């Protein structure tokens, strides 16, 4: 996937256009910069199936309101909570597990690290520096010494 812009909801009083969403470049990058985000084939298929069934908004967004506009944070949150109730147990719904959509990002980064993807590649995919990755995901990295030792030992034998 190639990301090129973001459109955060900032409120109409804070934009030059009077719209509540502001078209911006990517965070911490030059205005016209893009960011390549590699995704595995299974996710490519899901995105393609979604586009085939629902299409995209005129500006390329995958998720939009009924008439093509932006989803409001409130609506997105309501949909997210309904989805959690559909797929999680009652105890999991009552817990902080995936309590907000952003939790998926943390889960994804943690999964990559736990799967043995090198920290440099995880940082690149997440759009982080190595320092940020280590600061926020040290818990996911810590505790993998046994697996690291086994990997090293397998190469030494």
Do the bridges between strand 2-3 and strand 35-36 make them parallel or antiparallel, or are there none, so unpaired? Answer: antiparallel
The 8-class DSSP code of residue 152 comes to: H
**The pTM is what?**
0.66
pLDDT digits (tens, 9 = 90+) for 60-79: 888 888 788 888 778 888 98
Whether residue 2 contacts residue 33, with contact meaning beta carbons closer than 8 Å, is answered with no
Residue 114 lies in a domain: yes
Residue 148 lies in a domain: yes
Give 49 or 67, the one with higher predicted confidence: 49
Cα angle at 75 between 4 and 93, to 5 degrees?
105
The 8-class DSSP code of residue 36 comes to: E
Residue 137 lies in a domain: yes
> Which residue is it, tokens 């990058």?
29
- Domain membership of residue 32 as a residue range: 1-38
Whether 19 shows a pLDDT value over 80: the answer reads: no
Number of domains forming the structure of the chain: 2
CA distance 1 to 47: 10
Residue 130 lies in a domain: yes
């Amino acid at each position: 996937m190639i990301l090129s812009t973001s459109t955060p909801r900032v409120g109409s009083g804070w934009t030059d256009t009077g719209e509540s969403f502001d078209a911006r470049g990517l965070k911490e990058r030059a205005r016209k910069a893009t960011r390549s985000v590699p995704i595995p084939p299974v996710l490519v298929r899901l995105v393609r199936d979604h586009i085939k069934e629902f299409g995209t908004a005129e500006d390329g967004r995958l998720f939009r309101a009924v008439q093509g506009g932006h989803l409001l944070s409130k609506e997105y949150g309501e949909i997210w909570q309904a989805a959690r109730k559909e797929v999680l147990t009652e105890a999991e719904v009552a817990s902080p597990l995936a309590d907000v959509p952003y939790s998926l990002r943390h889960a994804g980064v943690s999964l990559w690290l736990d799967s043995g993807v090198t920290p440099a590649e995880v940082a690149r995919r997440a759009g982080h520096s190595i320092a940020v990755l280590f600061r926020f995901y040290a818990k996911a990295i810590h505790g993998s010494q046994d697996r690291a030792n086994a990997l090293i030992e397998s190469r030494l034998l």
